[in-house]
Amino acid sequence: MGQSAEALPPGLDALKPMQQAMESMGKSLGSTLTSMAGLSVPPDALKDIQQDYMKQATELWNRSLEKPEQIKAGDRRFDAPEWGSSPVNAFMASMYLLNARTLQKLADNLQGDAKARQRVRFAVQQWADAASPSNFLAFNPEALKKAVDTKGESLQQGLQHLMNDLRQGHMSQTDESVFEVGKNVATTAGTVVFENPYFQLIEYAPLTPQVHEVPFLFVPPCINKYYILDLQPDNSVVRYLLSQGHRVFMISWVNPDDSLALSTWDDYIEQGVMKAIDVTLDVAGTDKANMLGFCVGGTMLACALSTLAAQGKKPAASLTLLTSFLDFSDTGIMDVFVDEAMVRMREMTMGPTSPQGGGLMKGTDLAATFSFLRPNDLVWNYVVGNYLKGEMPPAFDLLYWNSDSTNLPGPFYTWYLRNTYLENKLREPNAVKVCGVPLDLRRLDMPTFIYGSREDHIVPWGGAYESTQIVQGPKTFVLGASGHIAGVINPPEKKKRSYWTSGSLARGLPATAKEWMATAQEHPGSWWPVWAEWLGKQAGAKVPAPKQPGNKRHQPIEAAPGRYVLRKA
């Protein structure tokens, strides 16, 4: 593999083990990759990577001997003064980063099956992030200094945090003791006016003397709890809509237990989304509602509305899709996890054809999968802070919600995996049946507002944009800054982030996200007012706000947030 260890410049014998390790790593990786779907790194690329590695390693070694104060890791994991105060620590951090970059270059230069290459790149990144010296007490000078300064108290606290996290079944990403659902999150006043085994329907109390005559229904993802849309008063989408004069209803999905372990996708569409639509229209006394689906809630809502359209029913005055897939061609890093073997294994263990006819996909397993999509931010950051330094993470409502995981019924989950991520059937007219009706999403001909987040790692914005090529009615696309959740929860008063719109709207949306972005303009602040202006045009005239929740057929059951959202996984 390129030059041998004997070819090192004179005086740098200390680098021999490093180069030999690099040669061994290259040979080992090469033989391993050859056995994995025929993957290989071209010899010329391999030689260039090795030579570049040795050049940078030599420069780093010389700098550590001659001007150690100039060694800067340039990574926020090593920003603490303790990493730069010692040449040994600075060299170790810089050497780790060089090794990690080199491994990633090897993975990036693979040739062979595209999915196998993607999996190797993902595995390499996971290994590199896990191997950071900052993650180990013996190599983390910041954690060691704190242990000395506190006379071991930080280590004792870290052990207590570890034991507490083991008991609760997940790693603490925030100080969960600060928050309580219904007390300081999910606090918007409302009433549960309907419930069945799948969900409760909340009707929120109006905040204005008059409301739009067309009600509004939220369909949140059943993979998480609804109150991401109603965190605290200053960042609540629900409260914002109420302040705009809308009459708001919300699905609060139950956190499934064994009683729903056999429930299917059709059950959630028919007994969940469709039933919520029926009750919303009945309580509001209208034949149409504006509707929003968030993430998988958008996929479910689109399926429900398309199925209803096939039955001659069109209850949606408008449709809003927030970070949702209808076309699963571009699922980003999530594609790493899904193949025929994985889906078949899930079907055999918890699908409708499994020996027990179903089962539960545990919320803790789903949460761990999502966290490892961004391991440095959502895993190792807390390993270091919680356990090595004995610190309690700061209180953050969004991360509290993120840790409040939910289960999924196995038959529902396996149908979703196979027909969306694996086979991408929803975009194909009549390729799959929902509630016994061939699904054709081209029946979605209502005005549609589609939102994507630019840094979304769960629903890449290009994948969200593909919905514009499926729905048939008038459509608007807006791109927001930040990620899957932070991009959505961006109240105007905070004056944070930015969003993009395109002048191409007047001419119709282009075929690809890249073409759309070429004509887009960036605007400071929140995208919410753009959506609110669009939604106001779909919501009809103003009428007196209702004085009481529910109606004769749907009497108040309990105050929001209701019992279902309190059930823990």
The DSSP secondary structure of 246-291, one letter per residue, reads --EEEEEE----GGGTT--HHHIIIIIIIHHHHHHHHHHT-S-EEE
Looking at residue 20, what is its pLDDT? 52
* Residues forming the active site: 295
Q: Which two tokens stand for residue 390?
A: 């004995």
pLDDT at residue 366 tops 90: no
- 503/515 Cα distance (integer angstroms): 12
Is 459 in the same domain as 327?
yes
Q: Is 467 contained in some domain?
A: yes
Q: What's the predicted TM-score (pTM) here?
A: 0.89
Find out whether 45 and 55 touch, Cβ atoms under 8 Å: no
**Which residue's structure tokens are 């280590």?**
155
Q: Is 355 contained in some domain?
A: no
Q: What does the DSSP 8-state code read for residue 204?
A: E
- 457/412 Cα distance (integer angstroms): 23
Looking at residue 37, what is its pLDDT? 54
Is 97 in the same domain as 18?
yes
pLDDT at residue 484 tops 70: yes
Is 111 in the same domain as 245?
no
Q: Which two tokens stand for residue 86?
A: 């010692």
Instruction: Work out whether strand 210-212 and strand 199-204 pair parallel, antiparallel, or are unpaired.
Output: unpaired
- The radius of gyration computed from the CA coordinates of the chain, to the nearest angstrom, equals 27
Q: Which of 375, 381, 386, 396 is nearest to 146 (CA)?
A: 386
Domain count, the chain: 2
Looking at residue 116, what is its pLDDT? 86
Is 199 in the same domain as 317?
yes
Q: Is 242 helix (H, G, I), strand (E, B) or coil?
A: helix
Is 241 in the same domain as 313?
yes
Residue 451 to residues 185, 240, 463, 464, 471, Cα–Cα distance (Å): 25, 17, 11, 7, 14
114 or 133: which leads in pLDDT? 133
Q: Is 372 contained in some domain?
A: no
Q: What does the DSSP 8-state code read for residue 353?
A: T
- 46/560 Cα distance (integer angstroms): 61
What is the average per-residue pLDDT within 99-125? 90
Q: Which of 291, 265, 289, 557 is nearest to 439 (CA)?
A: 265
Q: Which of 546, 568, 569 is nearest to 203 (CA)?
A: 546
Q: Is 471 contained in some domain?
A: yes
Domain closes at, from 135, 155, 178: 135
Looking from the CA of 504 toward its CB, the CA atoms found within 13 Å total 20
Say which CATH number the domain at 239 has: 3.40.50.1820
pLDDT at residue 180 tops 50: yes
Looking at residue 504, what is its pLDDT? 55
pLDDT at residue 6 tops 80: no
pLDDT at residue 98 tops 80: yes
Looking at residue 506, what is its pLDDT? 46
Give pLDDT tens digits for 229-271. Answer: 999 999 999 999 999 999 999 999 999 999 999 999 999 999 9
Amino acid 249 reads: F
What is the average per-residue pLDDT within 332-339? 88
Ranges 218-227, 357-366, 414-423: which has the least confidence = 357-366
Amino acid 160 reads: Q
Looking at residue 350, what is its pLDDT? 96
Stretch (H or E) spanning 293: strand 289-294
- 223/569 Cα distance (integer angstroms): 11
Give pLDDT tens digits for 487-498. Answer: 999 999 999 999
Q: Is 501 contained in some domain?
A: yes
Give pLDDT tens digits for 268-310. Answer: 999 999 999 999 999 999 999 999 999 999 999 999 999 999 9
Looking at residue 337, what is its pLDDT? 86
Confidence of residue 169 (pLDDT cuts 50, 70, 90): confident
Looking at residue 27, what is its pLDDT? 52
Is 118 in the same domain as 202?
no
Amino acid 272 reads: G
| Cis peptide upstream of residue 561 (ω within 30 degrees of 0) | yes
Mean pLDDT of the chain: 91
Looking at residue 281, what is its pLDDT? 98
Torsion of CA 266, 271, 273, 279, to 10 degrees: 160
Q: Is 87 contained in some domain?
A: yes
Q: Which of 68, 62, 56, 136 is nearest to 97 (CA)?
A: 56
Stretch (H or E) spanning 299: helix 296-310
Start-to-end CA span in the chain (Å): 51
Amino acid 358 reads: G
Q: Which two tokens stand for residue 490?
A: 């961006």
Which residues sit opposite 502 in a β-bridge?
520
Is 209 in the same domain as 121?
no
Q: Is 299 contained in some domain?
A: yes
- Number of CB atoms found within 10 A of residue 61's CB: 17
The DSSP secondary structure of 393-452, one letter per residue, reads PPP-HHHHHHHS---EEHHHHHHHIIIIIIT--TTSTTSSEETTEE--GGG--S-EEEEE
What is the average per-residue pLDDT within 367-377? 85
Is 329 in the same domain as 221?
yes
**Which residue's structure tokens are 């013996």?**
138
Looking at residue 4, what is its pLDDT? 38
Which residues sit opposite 40 in a β-bridge?
111
Confidence of residue 184 (pLDDT cuts 50, 70, 90): very high
Confidence of residue 24 (pLDDT cuts 50, 70, 90): low
Looking from the CA of 214 toward its CB, the CA atoms found within 13 Å total 16
Confidence of residue 64 (pLDDT cuts 50, 70, 90): confident
Q: For residue 493, count CB atoms less than 10 angstroms from its CB and return exposed for 0-12, middle for 13-18, buried for 19 or more.
A: exposed
pLDDT at residue 7 tops 50: no
pLDDT at residue 442 tops 50: yes
Is 209 in the same domain as 296?
yes
Q: Domain range spanning residue 35?
A: 5-135
Q: At residue 352, what are phi and psi to the nearest 5 degrees? A: -65, -20
Domain closes at, from 135, 154, 176: 135
Is 197 in the same domain as 130?
no
pLDDT at residue 104 tops 60: yes
Stretch (H or E) spanning 321: strand 316-322
**Which residue's structure tokens are 């006819």?**
357
- Number of CB atoms found within 10 A of residue 87's CB: 15
